[in-house]
Structure 1
Amino acid sequence: MITENRRDWHPARWLRILLPAVLLIIWLGAASFGGPTFGKLSSVSSNDQAAFLPASAESTEVNTWQQKFTDSQAIPALIVFASDSALSPAQLADLSTLAPKFAAVKGVQIPVSPATSSVTGPIPSKDGKAVQFIVPISDTNDVNTVVSDLRAVAATAASPSLAAYVTGPAGLTADLVNAFGGIDGILLLVAAGAVFLILLLVYRSIVLPFLVLLTSIFALSAAILFVYAFASWGWIKLSGQSQGILSILVIGAATDYSLLLVARFRESLHHVESKWAAINRAWRAAWEPIAASGATVIIALLCLLFSDLNSNKSLGPIAAIGIVFALLSSLTLLPVLLVLFGRAAFWPFRPKVDSLHAQAHSTAAPTVHGLEGITGLWKRVGTLISHRPRATWAIALLVLLACGAGIVQLQANGVPQSEVILTASQAVDGQKVSAQHFPSGSGSPVVVVADQGKAEAVLAAATATQGISSASIYVGNVRPGTDAAPVVREGKVIINAVLSSEPDSQAAEQVVRSLRQDLPAVDQGVLVGGVTAIALDTNTTAQSDLVKIIPIVLLVILLILMLLLRSIVAPVLLVASVVISYVAALGVSAVVFNHVFHFSGADAAVPLFGFVFLVALGVDYNIFLMTRVREESLRIGTRPGILRGLGMTGSVITSAGVVLAATFAALAVIPILFLAQIAFIVAFGVLLDTVIVRSLLVPALSYDIGRAIWWPSKLSHQPLNGEIR
């Protein structure tokens, strides 16, 4: 750690010119290439849920078989026309002319022969008030564009008395893509604006917020350049949600690391005149906690590679790349900007050299040892901890446990696809209308792959299953009047089983479970897939990931903290504190989701993502605090060192926490349920961690334990500067 009697650095003139110039050129180059790439990320991203399942998932195996039957991975669009009264013969005749128009839309699957049609329909409803078409969209085309064209064709037949909807998996996918359209611009603007306002209020400087934001945006530009390249090469799978999380994570983390360096730089400017000496002191003091913090977050994120879900597995390296550049920008670009601006970075409140700064307000009443020079809120907090440490941490712990009690209300079993999009969606509306006139699962049947010789027996068993309204063996899209022989591939046939409930409902998932349990008695090699099965397998895998990854992340963080703090007791305490903070955040979030926002549930991956971000980022503040505490403890003893470490880092940690909470809250501008829930969990959790855990629980409990907090290092049993044991 840095000490004040260390010789200050005064580089040669040529180095003072060359070093900043080289670093600026490197970062300007990264920004110039990475910035324009930002708008291209959507071209290498996918929101197809099936693509993120492991190859071993049963629904993935079914998808593989389906490709053999159709020679493509077509996504079905369900086009529904509905009226309040029975459709007239004239209306039905007009609607029948739409089939070839839908088939002619670019991107719709081409029929395999003249005897077949790619479009099924019009299919009239039993009540005579609606018809529907099933239009397969080729996976090699832009689903969003194709759906838009289909909606344009459907609109030509719509009227005030006849509503038209394009729904089904393709319609929902298109609306999901449109919902993610806010990532490129609005998300970044909201996050950057929030960071700027907070820094402006905290530092009361006009210049500094621009320098910190510039550092964050350059880091994001460089990260995007690498993420785009890796996604283009097929090394990682990029989705809309990971794209949004990357932007927020880089801005938040880079700002956090920057604030720690800024705090040290401002502190050093009160002791030395030279800005070079000040940045040298600041960098030497800050690089270790910043590097340790960044490395911890990177390794914790890479633990997602153990996930069986490709979406989780890909987010790990994507987010880790972001943290790498957040780390590099704060340790290379920001020091250059700070040394170029010097004291002007804090204008209009420029720090002045003041030998009495460390003993500011020395005329005040005598204070607790360790709090000399600490004023305001953090002096009061430190005094409270020194006088009532046990009561302080006990009350803080009780508050956290009370918050965590709500975790029993968390319903992280997945949500219906119709509730994923929080804004108006034609696909969602169409799904509801379709359910009023047709079997709910007609557009997304359960797909059963069975042996040809046992097809009839499997068909009978599937039809007899409760929750299945009808089932049929796949014969291809055959035109009326032609033979309808089953399509056979490698001795297998496909059976489409129509659900009587909506395909994204819990009831539909239960039907899939029943089919998987009962059908093997008829055909041992039977496979059950389809849209509902994909959702079920995704949720099951996500829940399995949670149980597997949490212990790995905790163990990794514990080992890193042990190496950094050279202690066993302190790391165990810190890891326990972030776990309690996570449980408390999840408990409050569950109550808010259920009783304030009235969400029907949460995505199964929400607890895992919330855990990784809260624990990894919460450790940031642990490291910021405890590395300073250890530095001060070496000088003045453990208990005074705890108070001084808290007093010296309290403002910067609080500022960093508020900034990170604000950046994650910006995710809520994207109208996707998953991201809105992650935004609330992480934003609230970071604030909880900053205000209660890092300000009260950890310092008070550490103070109560005393020097034993450093066991088994020498610091745990060596009296320093007369400190009473």
Structure 2
Amino acid sequence: MGAGLTQSRRRALPWLVLALWVAVLAVAAPFAGKLADVTRDGVTDYLPANANSTQVAKLQERLPGGESTELVLVYQRDGALTATDRATAERQIGQIAAEHELTDTPKGVPSEDGTTLMYPVSSNEPGADEELRNAFVDDVRETARSADGLTVEVGGPGAVIRDSKKVYDSLDGPLLYTTVAVVAVLLILIYRSPVLWLIPLIVAGIADYLSMGVAYGLNQAFGTSISGAGTAIMTILVLGAGTDYALLIVSRYREELRRIEHPYDAMKAALRGCGPAVIASSGTVAVGLLCLLAADLNSNRGMGPLGTVGVLCALIAMLSLLPAILVLVGRRVFWPLIPAFGSTPKERRSLFSAMGSSAGRRPVTVLVAGALALGALALGALNLPGDLKQEDAFVDRPESVSAMVTLADAYPDSSSQPITVMTPADRAAATLAAATSTEGVASAHVGRTGEGWTEVSVNASALPQTDAETRTIKSLRDKLDGSFVGGPSAQQIDLEKTNARDQKVVVPIVLLAVLLILIGLLRSLVAPLMLVAAVVAVWGASLGIGGLVFEPLFGFQGTDPALGLLSFVFLVALGVDYGIFLMHRMREESLGGAEPAEAALTALRTTGGVIASAGLVLAATFAVLMNMGLVSLVQLGFVIAVGVLLDTFLVRTYLVTSASVALGRKVWWPGRMAKAPEPEVLLREPERV
């Protein structure tokens, strides 16, 4: 009866898991489809929560007509504008004014050399509705067309936001398809099977769909910020981390199928063996990402929960749905390399055996050489270009940025991008007078008034996002007590300042959280410190490589202010992820009676291939971001991909193994494994981890 019950359970449980997943997806489907509706890439979705510029944006939404959409139409002809050109400009501006509600009548401002005519256009018609703002910009661009040698470009803050939105909208399809294609190719090469690669990929896709539904639920329940960059990172993590977990589980399952007859029992043994490491590693990544909640920048803070959702959905899918499908299809899924019951794999000297041997022979030499190499690479970070300006934020220059460049050349002594001051209505006159008398201010005028606040538009004499304009904005903030100073250039200042603050606050929290988790998992102090030091070194080296190639090779004129913080969080969390895989197996071998050096080399030999495969997949998925249209995403994808590869093929294989061999049992200090075992202990059954 017992055998019959076990057999019945073997058949029923996988089908029950499949049925449960069908039910879960049926519930999640309506929510997943709504995620795009709550994705926001507006100004306040990326600004610091309490910054001056954020308050300006929020107060503008409360003024009559709501938030303004500011545009600048730029008419230019090489040599000089003709009378016909000016008539064309007047006609097009008149048509725009007739079709839309503008805050005032646009007036042309000619350049001194006569080649350019600038028309500032502002409208409250779209209000805060993102779709209406986008439609307004598109309609203006449709009306303002170039003709007969006359170049017409639409720039300004509203146009920049629209062009950014176009890039984010283009991420969904290409990002998903490219990532899936990359992962598929790598899985085919890794598994060498025409069928097996499909299963982890399908399960990862299902996990991604589930994560979209959960993310929408978090937004509705807690107001979690959902941005285009955040959802892109979530997809990358689901597919990358999920495939990594699948590689570890499938590898252990294949191993167990050789010694256990029934797939159900083999999978049970596989999950018992590698499940704790998978759970621990994913939990560490999730906790590391949640530390971003301590950030003040809205975009950084919102990325934490989204990344955590992605990792946890991938974990749940790989620990339940993947095993159920593999058990149902049985051994034949591995065709043509089917692991037969009772068989032994062919013994062959692997790359990781050779690497382990070299690390084992001269551990201190390898450790010192590797540390010096990472330190030398980290020096490249000193060559990172300065903070990224708005005009350099796109890989391919869009129309809005081209318009800004044209304006900067044609109007070198004035700014085409106003600074917005929100001041209490009863102090509007005094604020206007104080702003006008501030050094660096060319002109100022009062705009709308509502709900106790008045809008003052200030034009600086310096070009946008220059040191001179920055000094003017800071002077206005110091001088106009009780008022808020915002606008695009002020927003950039606040972004840079808040990113620096977030890095000082979040980095120590991440380090402490990850260290405490590792101490609890490994029951040691030395091993966790070693792993944390290793991933910090990888982060520094990765940024250093970025510094060596960003400007000379890629032509980037600046570095995204959030790059340091985000790359740190991801590389520390994901790097420790691989460290857990290696140290877990090392601990398992030590508990089985192996000497420290033997345990370290065996762990590398048995897990090195899986960790290398997982590292390649994760690096490739983040490298997909390098095909996107925003410099910030390209830089983040590059640094993380390079960091994962360094961690996989240098730090885990050489440095951690060498350090473990050199330290011996001290690597487990102060735990009980740091002491030599009594002779009779080795005769006991190894402790299960």
Could you say which TM-score interval applies, normalised by the shorter chain?
Answer: over 0.9
Shift of residue 194, structure 1, vs aligned partner? 1.0
Q: Deviations over 1:608-632 (max 9, x none)?
A: 1100110000011000000010001
Structure 1 residue 561 corresponds to structure 2 residue 518 = yes
Structure 1 residue 132 corresponds to structure 2 residue 129 = no
Task: Check the 8 A contact 1:440/1:503 in 2, yes or no.
Answer: no
Shift of residue 64, structure 1, vs aligned partner? 3.8
* TM superposition score normalised by structure 1: 0.88
Task: Check the 8 A contact 1:255/1:656 in 2, yes or no.
Answer: yes
Shift of residue 375, structure 1, vs aligned partner? 2.6
Residue 121 (structure 1) aligned to one of 107, 118, 124: 107
Aligned to 1:281: 269
Aligned to 2:249: 261
What CA distance in whole angstroms lies between the structure 2 residues aligned with 1:218 and 1:434? Answer: 48
Task: Check the 8 A contact 1:99/1:119 in 2, yes or no.
Answer: no
Residue 568 (structure 2) aligned to one of 598, 608, 611: 611
Secondary structure in 2 matching 1:77: strand
Residue 407 (structure 2) aligned to one of 434, 438, 450: 434
Structure 1 residue identity aligned to 2:210: A
Task: Check the 8 A contact 2:286/2:311 in 1, yes or no.
Answer: yes
Shift of residue 459, structure 1, vs aligned partner? 4.2
What CA distance in whole angstroms lies between the structure 2 residues aligned with 1:722 and 1:418? Answer: 71
Structure 1 residue 447 corresponds to structure 2 residue 454 = no
Structure 1 residues 336, 104: CA separation in 2 closer, same or farther (over 3 Å shift)?
farther
Shift of residue 18, structure 1, vs aligned partner? 2.7
Aligned to 2:469: 508
Shift of residue 68, structure 1, vs aligned partner? 4.6
Structure 1 residue 160 corresponds to structure 2 residue 148 = yes
Structure 1 residues 202, 64: CA separation in 2 closer, same or farther (over 3 Å shift)?
closer
Q: Which moved more, 1:430-439 or 1:604-613?
A: 430-439
Secondary structure in 2 matching 1:719: coil
Q: Deviations over 1:240-267 (max 9, x none)?
A: 1111111111100100111110110011
Shift of residue 93, structure 1, vs aligned partner? 3.8
Shift of residue 288, structure 1, vs aligned partner? 0.2
Residue 351 (structure 1) aligned to one of 311, 336, 339: 339
Q: Deviations over 1:333-352 (max 9, x none)?
A: 11012112222222111112
Shift of residue 722, structure 1, vs aligned partner? 10
Aligned to 2:548: 591
What CA distance in whole angstroms lies between the structure 2 residues aligned with 1:441 and 1:180? Answer: 32
Residue 666 (structure 2) aligned to one of 708, 714, 719: 708
RMSD between aligned residues: 2.6
Task: Check the 8 A contact 1:378/1:646 in 2, yes or no.
Answer: yes
Q: Deviations over 1:484-516 (max 9, x none)?
A: xxx5863x5443221233424454333312332
Structure 1 residues 457, 75: CA separation in 2 closer, same or farther (over 3 Å shift)?
same
Structure 1 residues 721, 637: CA separation in 2 closer, same or farther (over 3 Å shift)?
farther
What CA distance in whole angstroms lies between the structure 2 residues aligned with 1:669 and 1:285? Answer: 38
What is the 5 A alignment of 1:639-654? Answer: 639-654=597-612
Structure 1 residues 219, 579: CA separation in 2 closer, same or farther (over 3 Å shift)?
same
Shift of residue 394, structure 1, vs aligned partner? 1.5
Structure 1 residues 31, 183: CA separation in 2 closer, same or farther (over 3 Å shift)?
farther
Structure 2 residue identity aligned to 1:73: E
Aligned to 2:383: 409
What CA distance in whole angstroms lies between the structure 1 residues aligned with 2:456 and 2:659? Answer: 63
* Count of aligned residue pairs for this structure pair: 676
Shift of residue 145, structure 1, vs aligned partner? 2.4
Secondary structure in 2 matching 1:207: coil
What CA distance in whole angstroms lies between the structure 2 residues aligned with 1:322 and 1:719? Answer: 42
Q: Deviations over 1:678-723 (max 9, x none)?
A: 1100000000000000000001101100011111111110337799
Task: Check the 8 A contact 2:35/2:213 in 1, yes or no.
Answer: no
Structure 1 residues 351, 720: CA separation in 2 closer, same or farther (over 3 Å shift)?
farther
Aligned to 2:687: none
Structure 1 residues 292, 533: CA separation in 2 closer, same or farther (over 3 Å shift)?
same
Structure 1 residue 145 corresponds to structure 2 residue 135 = yes
Secondary structure in 1 matching 2:458: strand
Shift of residue 273, structure 1, vs aligned partner? 2.0
Shift of residue 403, structure 1, vs aligned partner? 1.1
Q: Deviations over 1:532-569 (max 9, x none)?
A: 11111111111100010011001111111111111111
Q: Deviations over 1:43-78 (max 9, x none)?
A: 321212333334421222333443454441122122
Aligned to 1:484: none
Aligned to 2:686: none
Structure 1 residues 456, 587: CA separation in 2 closer, same or farther (over 3 Å shift)?
same
Structure 1 residue 684 corresponds to structure 2 residue 647 = no
What CA distance in whole angstroms lies between the structure 1 residues aligned with 2:646 and 2:652? Answer: 9
Task: Check the 8 A contact 1:10/1:277 in 2, yes or no.
Answer: no
Task: Check the 8 A contact 1:134/1:443 in 2, yes or no.
Answer: no
What CA distance in whole angstroms lies between the structure 2 residues aligned with 1:620 and 1:591? Answer: 27
Secondary structure in 1 matching 2:75: strand
Secondary structure in 2 matching 1:84: coil
Percent same amino acid at aligned positions? 35
Structure 2 residue identity aligned to 1:425: P
Shift of residue 391, structure 1, vs aligned partner? 1.2
Structure 1 residues 119, 51: CA separation in 2 closer, same or farther (over 3 Å shift)?
farther
Shift of residue 327, structure 1, vs aligned partner? 0.6
What CA distance in whole angstroms lies between the structure 1 residues aligned with 2:610 and 2:430? Answer: 69
Structure 2 residue identity aligned to 1:407: A
Structure 2 unaligned spans of 5+: 683-689
What CA distance in whole angstroms lies between the structure 1 residues aligned with 2:169 and 2:3? Answer: 49
What CA distance in whole angstroms lies between the structure 1 residues aligned with 2:378 and 2:5? Answer: 53
Structure 1 residue 212 corresponds to structure 2 residue 200 = yes
Residue 473 (structure 1) aligned to one of 440, 445, 456: 445
Structure 2 residue identity aligned to 1:378: F
Task: Check the 8 A contact 1:439/1:499 in 2, yes or no.
Answer: no
* TM superposition score normalised by structure 2: 0.92
What CA distance in whole angstroms lies between the structure 2 residues aligned with 1:68 and 1:32? Answer: 40
What CA distance in whole angstroms lies between the structure 2 residues aligned with 1:302 and 1:451? Answer: 38
What CA distance in whole angstroms lies between the structure 2 residues aligned with 1:94 and 1:583? Answer: 55
Structure 1 residues 271, 99: CA separation in 2 closer, same or farther (over 3 Å shift)?
same
Structure 1 residue 549 corresponds to structure 2 residue 506 = yes
Structure 2 residue identity aligned to 1:201: L
What CA distance in whole angstroms lies between the structure 1 residues aligned with 2:410 and 2:639? Answer: 39
Secondary structure in 1 matching 2:153: strand
Aligned to 1:499: 460
Task: Check the 8 A contact 1:633/1:639 in 2, yes or no.
Answer: no
Structure 2 residue identity aligned to 1:139: A
Residue 620 (structure 1) aligned to one of 577, 590, 596: 577
Structure 1 residues 505, 39: CA separation in 2 closer, same or farther (over 3 Å shift)?
farther
Secondary structure in 1 matching 2:74: strand
Shift of residue 90, structure 1, vs aligned partner? 4.6
Structure 2 residue identity aligned to 1:144: N
Structure 1 residue identity aligned to 2:46: F
Structure 1 residue 693 corresponds to structure 2 residue 681 = no
Shift of residue 464, structure 1, vs aligned partner? 4.7
Residue 627 (structure 2) aligned to one of 639, 646, 669: 669
Residue 48 (structure 1) aligned to one of 13, 19, 42: 42
What CA distance in whole angstroms lies between the structure 2 residues aligned with 1:11 and 1:398? Answer: 60
Structure 1 residues 440, 21: CA separation in 2 closer, same or farther (over 3 Å shift)?
farther
What CA distance in whole angstroms lies between the structure 2 residues aligned with 1:344 and 1:506? Answer: 66
Task: Check the 8 A contact 1:441/1:499 in 2, yes or no.
Answer: yes
Q: Deviations over 1:4-47 (max 9, x none)?
A: xxxx9996333233322222233344556757866653332121
Structure 1 unaligned spans of 5+: 1-7, 112-116, 362-373, 477-486
Aligned to 1:114: none
Task: Check the 8 A contact 1:630/1:638 in 2, yes or no.
Answer: no
Structure 2 residue identity aligned to 1:587: G
Q: Which moved more, 1:327-336 or 1:400-409?
A: 400-409
Aligned to 2:60: 66
Aligned to 1:376: 350
Residue 92 (structure 2) aligned to one of 68, 77, 98: 98
Task: Check the 8 A contact 1:75/1:139 in 2, yes or no.
Answer: no
Aligned to 1:77: 71
